[in-house]
Structure 1
Amino acid sequence: MKNIEKEYFGNKVLKGVSLTVKPGEIHALLGENGAGKSTLMNILFGMPVIHSTGGFSGEVIFDGAPVSMKSPKEAMDLGIGMVHQEFMLIPGFTVTENIKLNREITKHNLFSRIMGDKLKTLDTEQMNKDARKALDTLGIGIDEWITVAGLPVGYMQFIEIAREIDKSNMKLLVFDEPTAVLAESEADTLLAAMKKIAASGIAILFITHRLDEVMSTADHVTILRDGELVATMKKEETNVMQLAELMVGRKVEKLGKEKKHNGNSEETILELKNFHVAMPGEEVKGIDLTVRRGEIIGLGGLAGQGKIGIANGIMGLYPAEGNVTLEGKKIELNNPKASLNNHLAFVSEDRRGVGLLLDTSIELNIVITAMQAQKKYLKRLGFFDQMDGKVIREHALKMIEDLDIRCRGPQQITRRLSGGNQQKVCIARALTLEPNILFVSEPTRGIDIGAKKLVLDLLVKLNRDLGMTIVMTSSELGELRSICDRIAIITEGKIECILESDASDADFGLAMAGEYKKLRSKEAVIS
């Protein structure tokens, strides 16, 4: 792939990236969330999202010839396979049927010999043999005749891979975070299978965030950061520490933190003990965390590691268990109203799906939660409560001015606002609850770079001027480091470590990759 560039709606996500992979090579592709890894692979695999958003620039050369994949089928016909993070299996089909889907083997019978090939029947015996061979290559002992429904996720991952290696023309296989759902023993089996596949001459592109797997398996490593190529090197030329630093290294601009007077308090305002949240895709598996009064604490980590689940669990949006105490008082879990009554407020990561009533006015969006949970902005008329339009309008106008929400007026429909202004409406609604702690999840997702700066400045201002304690969850490590006092990195549902915002790039990289505890404990033993 030569000088690949791609933009989505004016936002450049790949900036002249080049990548070379040789036959039989395992080539690791590293980078934070949003570094451009998946977009690069989508271009290689001809995914529709690339062509429906204006295509890309640059050149893809496969087997020595320029190619332009317009669809995944074209990529597969060339010999490119992809094992996605999201499983693409049919639950009611057997393992063999999933492996052989669209490549079924048929055989003649009495009727087909007379009336034509359309009456051929499936050669189940031969298909089972092929499926067995692919499964044995991966070292997995699952029976090929059982249905996929109900199998553990680890087995599903292996079936996805078996389907690809069963193809006779396979030349390049892309693995997108293949070990993310596997237990340690299963991951070891998969890595051994990858080496066996590569030894047969098939090239492997291996997207992962686990640096120990890179060092044990890959031949070459390419690192992307913010859509740019940072480095391509042989595994022997690097180490875990350097890879970690290259993944996250960047200039971090501090946003007004030096003026803040209340971030150094040691007083605990919120404490989590053995806290679990059953949020699909963002499960929290027993964390202990202390939040200090008046600080901005960040929750970071890669996608799917559990950081998003923490605030959602505390606010009662997903089933949670464990102990959560606010100023020494235990909070009732799994009850959103109880959380709101304890002066906790939440700005959801899903702005359009959960955070806003898109076809409702700005002013109603701002007051709706306070109206329902705290009975504010209501006036009594006989036996009934009515919205107090005058008070609502006054409050909305104040919020629009204070937060600089760019709109035509408080009655404008929120759907017609820009992403940054929609986010400010979400924050305005949270502030209307007069919270002691503000949980903000992915506050800059889907908004342009100018609006991002405004939203982050606003959070710093709330913290600095009002002394508000803020718990900010973000996939953007640079944003967390720019405004947070401390950052807890979540890996596999647990806290890997808590770092100061000015900690080294290497430490943050190791933490994101789940290697911090392991390496630092080794260093402690040695010293």
Structure 2
Amino acid sequence: MSSQALLHFKNIKKSFSGNVVLDGVNFEIYPGQVVALAGENGAGKSTLMNILFGMSVIHDTGGYEGEIIFEGKNVQIQSPQEAMALGIGMVHQEFMLLPGFTVARNIKLNRENLVPSVVSRIAGKNYELLDQGAIIGDAKKALKRLGMEINPQTTVDKLPVGHMQFVEIAREIDKKNLKLLVLDEPTAVLTESEAERFLECIRKVADEGIAVIFISHRLDEVMELADSVVILRDGQMVFSEKTANTNKHEIAELMVGRKLEAESLINVNRNLPEDYILEVSHFKVNMPGEKSKDVSFRVKRGEIFGIGGLAGHGKTSISNGIFGMYPATGTVTYEGKQLQYGRVGEALKKGMAFVSEDRKGVGLLLEEPISLNMVYTDMRVNRHFLKKYVFFSQFDSQSSGQIVDEMIRELDIRCTGPEQPVGRLSGGNQQKVCVARALITKPKILFVSEPTRGIDIGAKQILLNYLVKINKELGITIVMTSSELNELRSVCDRIAIIGQGIVQGILKPDSPNVDFALLMSGEGKENSNDRNKE
């Protein structure tokens, strides 16, 4: 490892509208080193990375104090283009891909291989043509470094979510001058096997001399991959140590600033009556990358019903199909009546609610305040929180004030107030706003898809506890889809495992690990009749 630091954050400070989000952050990273940057949502991690990457949100709000020293020189990074020119690459938590472009074009975007044409020889380089063969060849090399067998000529919108993340990473490692790679929750959408492969790839990248800043809430991965750990809490650096000198329990407690109680939420002994609020029969959903082929299951009234499985096998398509987001066939019976799920909004009108896994694309109005985002669905569907005039109606922020303040307190949403734009919140706090919006409609059944993706350990505990609370105290039936099997086992009464587009089996949360492993691998369908008890 080089004796000179590649990057040095020196006394970095940043405020938004008088709210201090970074307060004197200092640490270094050396070539070939992996530094894990940990902290709760809202701790300042994303702001620090936005400063490093020259994002406009920093410069448009007064800049920052302190110094960034890169390769021994003081730098003022004014744009992502300047960051990339220095050799800094970043894989953001939210995908930055063009869905209609091929994998190869996304990997080589703005760095395409070109060949001269007859016109370009006269009119200049702007008229050169794409060298498709070279573009595909470079993309194959980048994907091979990651150990991924992905067709570079496939359009991105045809890929499962996990594969999209590998395309994002392949784009960065294809850059010839890459010296520092920032990874923001890169494994949040990956299965366990994909995540293991990813960690191996990143270690190889570091062994080539590239420094890595690894932002993750998965502490097992932090312990496995990182050479050292830096922890931010409320904008301050509270810990910096070699990974070998700490453990994940100490890291978790330093992140949240308190002891974490080991609370058991497992619903293994509830004897719910044979009263089915939802019945799904031979359901097929044509969702790109997550198609389901023939799904059938029943959900008891008052149950927390889990849906798990590997990425790309169809688990996230089920709730999306029921809410009319993608074309579907089959029968969905809700409260004893067939649901006309093909009509967008029909499920909402019938007393159902949905928290999508795509919180930015589907879940939120990013430029609007927290207050409007929270009540938007109830306002549109049930016509609440409106001032009504003769010819029109408009949002009444006064009538929504009490419920919005209550939700901010209940879910511990870290914000400056109900009028703060949702786009300025951290990812975890945005997710809490999505949950609040669904609950304000007072649903009989709540669908939540990947509810804790990208959320830190403290916020995750709050959210899972809250789902259990509303289930037990308000009687809301919950259908929860998650890639985190341990998360499902911690709160669900029963868990359906989706594999190859069908229900491989349904298990109790305390079933043996081997039973879950068999169903996840697609081996358990024929032999799971005694376990698949509905």
TM-score by length of 1: 0.58
Q: Does 1:120 align with 2:128?
A: yes
**How far has the Cα of 1:37 moved from its partner?**
1.8
Deviation per CA, 1:127-152: give whole Å up to 9, x if none. 33333322222222334344434123
Q: Does 1:62 align with 2:42?
A: no
Deviation per CA, 1:7-35: give whole Å up to 9, x if none. 33333332332232111111112223222
For the Cα contact (< 8 Å) 1:420–1:448, is it kept in 2? Answer: no
**How far has the Cα of 1:78 moved from its partner?**
1.0
Percent identity, please. Answer: 43
**How far has the Cα of 1:75 moved from its partner?**
0.7
Q: Tell me which residue corresponds to 1:190.
A: 198
Q: Does 1:13 align with 2:17?
A: no
Please give the root-mean-square deviation of Cα atoms over the aligned residues, in Å.
6.1
> Which 10-residue stretch deviates more, 478-487 or 3-12?
478-487
For the Cα contact (< 8 Å) 1:79–1:171, is it kept in 2? Answer: yes
Q: Tell me which residue corresponds to 2:483.
A: 492
Cα distance between partner residues in 2 of 1:113 and 1:13: 53
- Three-state SS of the structure 2 residue aligned to 1:134 is helix
**How far has the Cα of 1:51 moved from its partner?**
1.9
Cα distance between partner residues in 2 of 1:74 and 1:8: 23
Cα distance between partner residues in 2 of 1:368 and 1:130: 48
**How far has the Cα of 1:288 moved from its partner?**
12
> Which 10-residue stretch deviates more, 21-30 or 123-132?
123-132
Q: Tell me which residue corresponds to 1:22.
A: 30
**How far has the Cα of 1:212 moved from its partner?**
1.8
- Three-state SS of the structure 1 residue aligned to 2:172 is helix
Amino acid at match of 1:448: G
Q: Alignment partner for residue 177 of structure 2, among 153, 163, 169? A: 169
Q: Tell me which residue corresponds to 1:239.
A: 247
Cα distance between partner residues in 2 of 1:492 and 1:124: 36
**How far has the Cα of 1:105 moved from its partner?**
2.7
Q: Alignment partner for residue 112 of structure 2, among 84, 101, 104? A: 104
Q: Tell me which residue corresponds to 1:153.
A: 161
Cα distance between partner residues in 2 of 1:313 and 1:152: 16
Q: Tell me which residue corresponds to 2:211.
A: 203
* Alpha-carbon distance change, 331 to 201 in structure 1, aligned in 2, over 3 angstroms: same
Amino acid at match of 1:54: G
**How far has the Cα of 1:312 moved from its partner?**
11
**How far has the Cα of 1:159 moved from its partner?**
2.0
Q: Does 1:421 align with 2:401?
A: yes
For the Cα contact (< 8 Å) 1:5–1:58, is it kept in 2? Answer: yes
For the Cα contact (< 8 Å) 2:322–2:347, is it kept in 1? Answer: no
Aligned pair count reads 420
Cα distance between partner residues in 2 of 1:314 and 1:142: 30
Cα distance between partner residues in 2 of 1:234 and 1:419: 51
For the Cα contact (< 8 Å) 2:405–2:418, is it kept in 1? Answer: no
For the Cα contact (< 8 Å) 1:311–1:441, is it kept in 2? Answer: no
Cα distance between partner residues in 2 of 1:100 and 1:140: 17
* Alpha-carbon distance change, 155 to 351 in structure 1, aligned in 2, over 3 angstroms: closer
Cα distance between partner residues in 2 of 1:312 and 1:138: 30
For the pair shown, the structure with the greater C-alpha radius of gyration is 1
- Three-state SS of the structure 1 residue aligned to 2:100 is coil
Q: Tell me which residue corresponds to 1:448.
A: 417
Deviation per CA, 1:139-185: give whole Å up to 9, x if none. 22334344434123233222221221121211101111111222222
Provide structure 2 residue ranges, at least 5 long, that are not aligned to the other structure. 1-8, 261-270, 305-316, 421-428, 430-435, 437-443, 453-458, 472-477, 492-508, 514-534
Provide structure 1 residue ranges, at least 5 long, that are not aligned to the other structure. 253-265, 298-308, 372-395, 397-404, 428-438, 453-458, 460-468, 500-516, 522-527
For the Cα contact (< 8 Å) 1:366–1:425, is it kept in 2? Answer: no
Cα distance between partner residues in 1 of 2:216 and 2:251: 12
For the Cα contact (< 8 Å) 1:347–1:426, is it kept in 2? Answer: no
